[in-house]
Amino acid sequence: MEKPIIPDNEQSRLKALHSLNVLDTPPEERFDRLTRLAKRMFNVPIALVSLVDENRQWFKSCVGLSVCETPRDISFCGHTILGNDIFIVPDTLVDPRFADNPLVLNDPFIRFYAGCPLRHLDGSMLGTLCIIDQEPRDISQEDLDILNDLADLASRELMAIELATLDELTKISNRRGFIKLAEHSLTICTRQNIPVSIAFLDLNSFKPINDTFGHAEGDTALIAFAELMKKSFRKSDVFARIGGDEFAILLTDTLAQPAEKTMARFRRALRLYNKTANRGYNIEFSEGIIPIDLEQTPSIESLLNQADSLMYQQKNTSRK
């Protein structure tokens, strides 16, 4: 048996997959409709929308199987995400890569497989829409076109999930996306007793940028600020644009003093950007940082409100 190799972009691929916050969620009609349609159109017993996680493939939609996931190292979909095209195995028993695969020798006794990759907005492969038969078969070009069309619909539905949690301008999380991701991170931190802090950031004198240079330049400033956040904070941190000129960051494994040092480094990086960009204005911000008491199980909304209040206190103090 040939195990699927790990793609070169695995870390960014997994980050894109996890950003959807869709793994281990309940079935949804929009995906089930596609697998039912695939099963009927191709006259196969099994059709799946499969997402390839770090060590497993998990089925967002599944008809014809009683399980919701299988190990990645025996998955067919793990091979499919390595390429851009539909991956086809006409007869598993004569294919040395799969002839002794447990999914071939045992239930569900796969003899035919065809899977089309599901693409993220950044081009990485998240999983597949695939059809499976327990008899060997060929597939026509017309059928391949139909399978590709169904996979494109599945990709669009996945991207609709992301766009609902993504800020359209800056391409980082919006308020809804931040709350979802931050709640997940906070649960992990609480379970493992990892310190965590939250920061609320508000851009200083942002309205004059819009008034003096125009709203397009204001958008440029917001995009630049978000891009600098991407470069400055760790992959384990959660950050977002939660309002017009308001941003938030959940800093994992970080107490109050280290959080303040992190923010100071970010401010220095922003000053360097201002000097280099020379746009005729400076992007500056005020912040409020709250260390989170994990024993209190606070909500992300309440934490944002606390950090927001502290930020305004400090902003008002600095003006005096």
Residue ranges making up the domain that contains 287: 175-319
Confidence of residue 294 (pLDDT cuts 50, 70, 90): confident
Percent of the chain with pLDDT over 90: 81
Q: What percent of the chain has pLDDT over 70?
A: 99
Residue 297: is its pLDDT beyond 80? Answer: no
Least confident of 116-120, 187-191, 195-199: 187-191
The verdict on 179 and 307 lying in the same domain is yes
Query: Taking residues 195-224, what's their average pLDDT?
Result: 95
Q: End of a domain among 163, 194, 229?
A: 163
pLDDT (mean) for 55-83: 97
Residues 181 and 65 in one domain: no
Residue 296: pLDDT band (50, 70, 90) is: confident
For residues 60-80, average pLDDT: 97
Q: How many domains does the chain have?
A: 2
CATH number of the domain residue 82 falls in? 3.30.450.40
* Domain boundary residue, one of 163, 196, 221: 163
In a domain, 168, yes or no: no
Examine the pLDDT at 132 and tell me if it is beyond 90: yes
CATH code: domain of residue 285? 3.30.70.270
Sign for the CA dihedral angle at 127, 132, 138, 143 comes to negative
| Predicted pLDDT at 205 | 92
48 with 71, same domain: the answer is: yes
Q: Which residue has the tokens 């109050």?
A: 256
Do the domain assignments include residue 250? yes
Q: Convert the pLDDT of each residue in 87-117 to its tens digit.
A: 999 999 999 999 999 999 999 999 999 999 9
Is 1 contained in some domain?
A: no
Classify the phi-psi angles of 61: left when phi > 0, otherwise alpha if psi is within -120 to 50, otherwise beta.
beta
Residue 2 belongs to some domain of the structure? no
